[in-house]
Structure 1
Amino acid sequence: MAEDKYNRKNPAVKRILQEVREMQSNPTDDFTSLPLEENIFEWQFAIRGPQDTEFEGGIYHGRIQLPSEYPFKPPSFMLLTPSGRFETQTKICLSISNHHPEHWQPSWSVRTALVALIAFMPTHPNGALGSLDYTKEERRALAIKSREAAPKFGSPERQKLIDEIHEYMLSKSPPVPQGSQGSKVQATNEENGSREIPENAALEVAEEELPSPVVEDGIVNEIAEQPNETPSNANVVQTSQPIPAVPTSELKFRNPEPMVSKQDRLFTLAAVGLTIAIVVLLLKKFMKANGYGAVFMDKS
């Protein structure tokens, strides 16, 4: 790398060269990243899909652009390999990218950002810019395809660096798991439908519908989970005598007879007595008003 053409006193250049040396002296199997010879502010990288996810075994290439104010301003990220999680050749929106400069910390580095990017891959996109929401099976197919060849992008110099990074990552990356892991992903897709639901960033769990109770002859019975099994807590009455069948023609529906309680009868008698007393009182008042009351009083 032609370091002589850059001003080493520039804080951004000084920081970038320091990170290049650190990346080369402390490699990891999870990712690798190097700047272009012609421009140290542009990096090419490749990350390995996180384990125990639908991305496991995949090799995903991308591009990092560092601002001239780096590390005081955040970089931008772009994925070049189809993953089903991020759009290709589109700046993605993450808390570590230039879409959210308020979250960026100058103490973070390219290494820190790549570690965070790997952690973001299995999370739910929630409609973020540059994000996709493919099914797990689609993402697993893309993970397998990502190993075949490095993506084509940019100038011959850039493509040469991309191919070298791909060969390095392919030598460090285990194959895409098949068998049990694939079966787990397929089973998960069958349970959750064709798409994930979606994570906070993390995932929404669908509730199972409980069987509705069946009301029969005034008794509520729960539906058994298996149609051929009898619930263990069901009350079953066994009898040695067969239950005779009743012809439909003999079935008659009768209205229930009204039931009058003793208290209702007392109220009825009291009402009748009160009515009679009122009638007698009114009758006496009428007779007294017309002079009949005096005649009765004299004779008595």
Structure 2
Amino acid sequence: MADERYNRKNPAVKRILQEVKEMKANPSDDFMSLPLEENIFEWQFAIRGPSETEFEGGIYHGRIQLPSDYPFKPPSFLLLTPSGRFETNTKICLSISNYHPEHWQPSWSVRTALVALIAFMPSNPSGAIGSVDYPKEERRALATKSRESPPKYGSPERQKVIDEIHQYMLSKTPSPKPNPEECNKTSSADSDDQSQTKPQDTEAATAEPVTAVEEKVVDQIAEEAGQTVVPGANAGENVAAGDNRNGLVRQREQATVAVRAAQRRGDDRLFTWAAVGLTIAIVVLLLKKLVRSSGHGALFMDES
């Protein structure tokens, strides 16, 4: 990026260039975002559909427009890829967007906003501006389609950035998992077919040894389901292991939320004391200036 074309003393430019550097130094598997060369206040991005949802496997592109007084005011968001959750080419209403500046904090960044946007994907639209509520089946179909090609948008420079981001996200985003409902239907059909199998065929199938490949597949399925399969254990014990793991995940998530809340409270107190200290320092400086201008303290001496 040609930094020399921008005034690096400008607080917004300085902050944006810092975020660009951080984004490149610490890439994420869940999103990617880059500003345009000709306008660093406009960023193109793509997010990965959250796992275990109908958006899983999808790659959703969009645009972020940063205000001239960023980071003191929030950015605006516009989605370019159909998702069944947000309208395309329409600024969306989120608590982190310019629709709610009262919620925005200057300590937040483009990275923070993208993480929040991913979290908003499976949430209830509740009639918010720029939101839609498609059935899950349509959302899954759109997630699959989103991988085929990046959206076409704007100038050749924009398209170049969009294409670059899409290729990166394809390398980080696994294909969508099969629809659980369809899998259940298939399993039911297979069960019906097996129930009609001749007894001797069933006995022969049961007698066949389990191969190493089959064991590997079982382990992979269990891992994806978030369960620990213990060889020789019954189904109840394996489900309990999965429940324990899910409980640990929830505890970690709750702890993370608590830590972040504590950090915000600590930051608020720090800012308050800093403001008080700054006010006192300004008052002292003004008093010193007043004393000097009045003849080195003559103002405080008796006229007699």
TM-score normalised by the shorter chain: which range applies? Answer: 0.5 to 0.7
TM-score for both structures, normalised by structure 1: 0.60
Structure-to-structure mapping, 1:197-208, within 5 angstroms: none
The 3 A distance-change label for structure 1 pair 133 and 180 is closer
Letter in 1 for 2:68: S
The 3 A distance-change label for structure 1 pair 66 and 128 is same
State the Cα distance separating 1:183 from its structure 2 match: 4.0
Following the alignment from structure 2 to structure 1, what is the Cα–Cα distance between the partners of residues 157 and 115?
A: 26
Find the residue that maps to 1:78 and give its secondary structure: strand
CA deviations over 1:269-298 (Å, ceiling 9, x no partner): xxxxxxxxxxxxxxxxxxxxxxxxxxxxxx
Find the residue that maps to 2:4 and give its secondary structure: coil
Residue identity (%): 79
Q: Which residue in the other structure is 2:25 paired with?
A: 25
Q: Is the aligned partner of 1:102 residue 2:90?
A: no
Q: Which residue in the other structure is 2:40 paired with?
A: 40
Q: Which residue in the other structure is 2:191 paired with?
A: none
- Give 4+ residue runs of structure 1 displaced > 2 Å after superposition: 179-186
State the Cα distance separating 1:180 from its structure 2 match: 3.8
Following the alignment from structure 1 to structure 2, what is the Cα–Cα distance between the partners of residues 81 and 182?
A: 25
Find the residue that maps to 2:5 and give its secondary structure: coil
Find the residue that maps to 1:162 and give its secondary structure: helix
CA deviations over 1:199-234 (Å, ceiling 9, x no partner): xxxxxxxxxxxxxxxxxxxxxxxxxxxxxxxxxxxx
State the Cα distance separating 1:2 from its structure 2 match: 1.4
Any gaps of 5 or more consecutive residues in structure 2? 187-304
Following the alignment from structure 2 to structure 1, what is the Cα–Cα distance between the partners of residues 6 and 181?
A: 49
- Greater per-residue helix proportion: 2
Structure-to-structure mapping, 1:89-168, within 5 angstroms: 89-168=89-168
Following the alignment from structure 2 to structure 1, what is the Cα–Cα distance between the partners of residues 31 and 184?
A: 26
Q: Which residue in the other structure is 2:77 paired with?
A: 77
Q: Which residue in the other structure is 2:87 paired with?
A: 87
Find the residue that maps to 2:101 and give its secondary structure: coil
Count of matched residue pairs: 186
Find the residue that maps to 2:62 and give its secondary structure: strand
State the Cα distance separating 1:185 from its structure 2 match: 11
Following the alignment from structure 1 to structure 2, what is the Cα–Cα distance between the partners of residues 177 and 11?
A: 44
Q: Which residue in the other structure is 2:178 paired with?
A: 178
Letter in 2 for 1:109: S
Letter in 2 for 1:49: G
Greater C-alpha radius of gyration: 1
Following the alignment from structure 1 to structure 2, what is the Cα–Cα distance between the partners of residues 113 and 185?
A: 39
The 3 A distance-change label for structure 1 pair 184 and 158 is farther
Q: Which residue in the other structure is 1:288 paired with?
A: none
TM-score for both structures, normalised by structure 2: 0.60
Following the alignment from structure 1 to structure 2, what is the Cα–Cα distance between the partners of residues 182 and 45?
A: 32
State the Cα distance separating 1:179 from its structure 2 match: 5.3
Find the residue that maps to 1:43 and give its secondary structure: strand
Q: Is the 8 A contact 1:136 1:185 kept in 2?
A: no
Q: Is the 8 A contact 1:137 1:185 kept in 2?
A: no
State the Cα distance separating 1:46 from its structure 2 match: 0.2
Letter in 1 for 2:37: E
Following the alignment from structure 1 to structure 2, what is the Cα–Cα distance between the partners of residues 185 and 119?
A: 30
